[in-house]
Amino acid sequence: MIKDQDYLKKIADICLSRSKKQGSTDASIMVQSSISENVNVRNKKLDGSERSENLGVVLTTYLGKRKSSIASSNLKENNLNELVDRCIETMKITPEDEYNSLPDKDLHFSGLKDLELFDETHLSNEDKINYIKEAEDEAFSNNKIVNTNGSGFGENKSNFLLANSNGFVDGYKTSQFTAYCEVVSKSNGSMERDYEYTSKRFYSDILKPKELGSIAADHAVKKLNPKKIKSEKISLIFDKRISKNFLSIFANAISSSAIAKGTTFLKDKLNQKVFNSEINILDHGDIKKANGSRYFDSEGIGIINLDLIKNGILQDYLIDTYNGKKINRKSNGRASGTTNLYFENGSKTFNELIKSENKLLYIKETIGHGTNIINGDYSVGASGIMIENGEFSYPVSEITIAGNLNNIFQNITLADDLEFNYSTNSPTMHVEGMIVGGK
């Protein structure tokens, strides 16, 4: 069983009172308890099981504008006391930083907790194994699937408590059910792998095993016997599992820490047109049962919904207390990053999008870490499928795609097929005129 709020509170009290006794002026603490149980199968046979029981505490102490932190998984009282003392000692010799402080009391979360983020359902290992075996069975019913890289099912339950010396004490339980199926296809000497993945807070919301297996198989088979194409300038269609990455890049580029340091290509772009006027980007933390929903951030600040891009114009940054002070803004509850971040649907259907040009390259996978948020340069390895006259024609691999995000953002057209499968979600995306590196 995960620990209850009373247990977490007891640990928090030990640390907070010791901090105060040792001379800190302020302190904040997060105590967490989680249990996760995972099973893996491979080629329809049990490959392994894993049970993780985690306990942890993170404490930050303040002496005026001085600050230091400790973290530990050893929650015995004498160990905690030793660590608090160490934290205080370090804090005393750490230089002052005028921006250090606890968050603004007025912004503390207080309200109802009715987002339905915890599902009590518990699956036995047997049930988990059955689910994932059924998915693999379905994948293997495709005769080009010859092997699996392993498929798994995981159930995670956690509880946490956040408290600070300004009187904030709150916490709540969350759950996550996750399944993935990764299969290997083979034909004419070509071997490819691909996967499908599902992760939801409620067990009843995850993909059915047969769907999971058949989608994974379909992805892997469609990649077989790829061709390498010539280097050229061509418009790209990004599959939903890739297009959402542009939202994550965007979120990094408007984090108040990057803005305050000037290490982002979107610095000084507030109230300017960053995307074309068709584009709206929202970050809404109050969607029931959604993966990214939360009541408050890691500082205890209540989540408000943000419309980050309206008609292409940048409306806001993602702000926490520390970096907010640097740029003279109040926190908007984004110390733990975005919540449910998504593009609003575009006006074209998927079919209209892939028929919009005679020749398009559909990108299903990118690899590498080729995003530079300082100057907006983007260059990654990729594979996908060529679309000719609106029809998927042949798979393409070992290519690179490159451009600058300032241009890419202006040249996005979105389909109307948004789904809330992850915490960051995008419809299918068309980007005009990118450079593909190939033969």
Minimum CB separation of residue 52 from another protein in Å reads 6
Q: Among residues 354 and 380, whose Cβ is nearest to another protein?
A: 380
Q: Long-range pairs for 166-172 at CB < 8 Å and ≥24 separation?
A: 166/26, 166/102, 166/103, 166/105, 166/108, 167/105, 168/28, 168/105, 168/108, 168/109, 168/300, 169/9, 169/12, 170/109, 170/295, 170/296, 170/300, 171/5, 171/8, 171/31, 172/113, 172/117, 172/118, 172/295
* Closer residue to another protein in complex, CB, 156/280: 156
Nearest approach, Cβ of 321 to another protein (angstroms)? 14
Min dist CB 63 to another protein, Å, is 13
Instruction: Determine the straight-line distance between the first and last CA of the chain, rounded to whole angstroms.
Output: 56
Q: Which is nearer to another protein, 67 or 294 (CB)?
A: 67
In the complex, minimum distance from the CB of residue 175 to another protein, in angstroms, rounded to a whole number? 20
Q: How far is the CB of 112 from another protein (least distance, A)?
A: 33
Minimum Å gap between C-beta 147 and another protein is 6
Question: Of 98 and 106, which CB lies nearer to another protein in the complex structure?
Answer: 98
User: Measured from the CB atom, is 99 or 350 closer to another protein?
Assistant: 99
We find the least distance from the C-beta atom of residue 305 to another protein, in angstroms, to be 29
Q: Which residue, 344 or 398, is less far from another protein as judged by CB? A: 398
User: Residue 149 or 252: which CB sits closer to another protein?
Assistant: 149
